[in-house]
Structure formats: C-alpha cells, structure tokens
Amino acid sequence: MSPSVLLVDDNEDLLECIGSFLKIGGFNVRTAQNGSQACIEYQNARPDLVIMDIVMEGMDGYDTFFQIKDADPEAKVILMTGFQKKERFYEAEKRGLFGFIEKPFTGKQLLDYLSEKNVLPTASV
C-alpha cells in the first residue's frame, strides 16, 4: 500500500498541482483547504505525512501544526510558504517540525526534498 500524505493549502490550484506531483512520487494523496479541515482529515486518516501551507485563512499552518502535534506527537509535518520564516517557525522546530520547503518549487524539487527526508515511496526522481 502506498504511503499517504495530507496536503493542505487554501489555493485549490496549488492543491491540484502539488497533489499531482505527490501522486507521481507514489503517494496516496488526501487534501484539505484549511486548518480546521486538515485537523479533521488528520484524525480520520492518520496519514504518514502532512505537507501544509503556513499562510491560510482562519487557522494558519502553525496553529494547525500545533493542534496536530498535540493529538499525535509523532506526526510528520512539512510546512511550506512563499514568505520568510517567522518567529513561530522556531517554536514549531522545537515541537518536532519534520521539514520546511520554500515556495515556489518545481515538482522535481519537491520529490528530491522528500527523497532527502527518506519519505519518498518510489525512485521516481
């Protein structure tokens, strides 16, 4: 069975694009468009990995990250953003942030990064 990833972004086009890259990489992809939805999806599916935007309407990526980590301290979460890392990034690192990737990135860059983190299920890069 393919490893599962929960992809979280409030931009539907990015969800579709990044989701396609992850499927090429061998992941079973679930999506959520906001932090509240992501927390529900995480509780229901317990994916192997979460890749989540930081800047979202309502509950941002940091608040969502902390809520997921409260529920599951072993959760592997990678945050992504096109903005500079902020003070909360270091708090997230202390709480066990699995990784960070800066937007924009190509599909190959994402799959290479996941390969470096040893979470890529196939040798597709």
Q: In this predicted model, what pLDDT tens digit does every residue of 74-105 receive, in sequence order? A: 999 999 988 766 778 899 999 999 999 999 99
CA distances from 85 to 1, 15, 69, 82 (A): 35, 21, 19, 9
| Domain around 14 | 4-116
Whole-angstrom Cα distance, residue 125 to residue 94?
Answer: 31
Instruction: Decide if 19 is inside a domain.
Output: yes
Predicted TM-score (pTM) of the model is: 0.93
Statement: residue 125 has pLDDT above 60: no
Instruction: Decide if 71 is inside a domain.
Output: yes
Number of domains the chain contains: 1
Whole-angstrom Cα distance, residue 68 to residue 22?
Answer: 21
Q: How much of the chain exceeds pLDDT 70, in percent?
A: 95
Instruction: Decide if 121 is inside a domain.
Output: no
Q: What is the CATH number of the domain that holds 79?
A: 3.40.50.2300
